């Protein structure tokens, strides 16, 4: 019997307009009413994740920034796995050398030195999961990052690395030049304390090696007296693989790549067709 359901956000719980469909919302509420713990596991910072859930009228525990931070339903931080500041400075220097744009995710939200690219990177993530979506609509939805202060402009990332006020959780690096992105990824391969994954065609995500969705989910269910064999994970991309490898029921979205689908027990419908709701209702 499934007692916990973990769902990714972009390309999974969210449609191309980055909203939760009514079908997905009702399925989650039905699962919660049945006593099932529903946790959202996302690469987004807490502030961006709760913005979408609040709009949908949902309250869930959150595994944020690919597992770098876990928060309860009340928003309280349960655990945090930041990148050391000296390592963060080194990562920033290497990314700058390879000429790729990057954002820095912290416990105070995400930061950018280029607001135009801050929108472009979200468009890439969405269009990776929804290649048939209307780009203009996606760009408008992605613009909420700026309109609603979900990402914060900063002139120099150094202020984040030098201040004790910020915990550095993740670097999200982005480039339309595959060679530049490959060079950036290779330059980070020697960091034993880091893990590098992807959530879109033109990006890489860099976190502490212990900041993975699967590791955070395992700790979450253990703390709640739930077995991994009683847990279902739903996702569409490579930053969801660490969950798939641990849970009793791994569900790939219909819009996931063939590689992701081959790793899972079940394939549900696409995110545009409320595949999360279908996956939840099948186990209720």
Query: Where in the sequence numbering do the catalytic residues fall?
Result: 8
Pure H helices in the chain: 22-33, 46-56, 85-97, 115-129, 135-142, 144-147, 158-162, 178-187, 213-223, 241-244, 258-262, 275-283
Our CA angle for 173, 243, 67, nearest 5°, is 50
The Cα–Cα gap between 284 and 107 comes to: 35
The Cα–Cα gap between 39 and 231 comes to: 11
DSSP 69-101: EEE-TT--EEEE-PBPHHHHHHHHHHHHHTT-E
Work out the burial of residue 148: count CB atoms within 10 Å of its CB; fewer than 13 is exposed, 13-18 middle, 19 or more buried.
exposed
The residues, ordered by sequence, that sit 6+ positions from 99 with a Cβ below 8 Å of its Cβ are: 175, 180
The Cα–Cα gap between 248 and 72 comes to: 23
Identify the three-state secondary structure at position 276. Answer: helix
């Amino acid at each position: 019997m499934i007692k916990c359901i973990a769902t990714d956000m972009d390309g999974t719980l969210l449609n191309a307009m980055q909203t939760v469909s009514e079908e997905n919302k009702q399925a989650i509420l039905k699962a919660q009413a049945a006593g099932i713990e529903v946790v959202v596991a996302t690469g987004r910072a807490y502030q961006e994740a709760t913005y979408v859930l609040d709009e949908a009228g949902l309250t869930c525990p959150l595994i944020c920034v690919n597992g770098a931070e876990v928060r309860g339903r009340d928003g309280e931080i349960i655990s945090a796995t930041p990148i050391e500041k000296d390592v963060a400075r080194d990562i920033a220097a290497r990314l700058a050398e390879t000429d790729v744009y990057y954002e820095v995710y912290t416990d105070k939200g995400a930061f950018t030195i280029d607001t135009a690219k801050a929108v472009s990177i979200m468009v890439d993530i969405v269009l990776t999961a929804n290649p048939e979506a209307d780009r203009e609509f996606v760009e408008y939805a992605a613009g909420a990052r700026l309109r609603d202060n979900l990402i914060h402009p900063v002139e120099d990332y150094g202020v984040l690395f030098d201040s004790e006020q910020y915990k550095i959780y993740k670097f999200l690096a982005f480039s339309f030049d595959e060679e530049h992105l490959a060079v950036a990824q290779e330059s980070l391969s020697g960091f034993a304390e880091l893990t590098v994954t992807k959530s879109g065609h033109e990006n890489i995500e860099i976190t502490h090696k212990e900041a993975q969705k699967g590791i955070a989910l395992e700790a979450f269910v253990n703390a709640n007296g739930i077995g991994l064999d009683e847990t279902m994970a739903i996702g569409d991309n490579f930053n969801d693989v660490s969950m798939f490898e641990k849970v009793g029921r791994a569900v790939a979205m219909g819009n996931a790549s063939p590689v992701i689908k081959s790793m899972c027990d079940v394939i549900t419908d696409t995110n545009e067709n409320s595949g999360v709701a279908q996956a939840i209702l099948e186990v209720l």
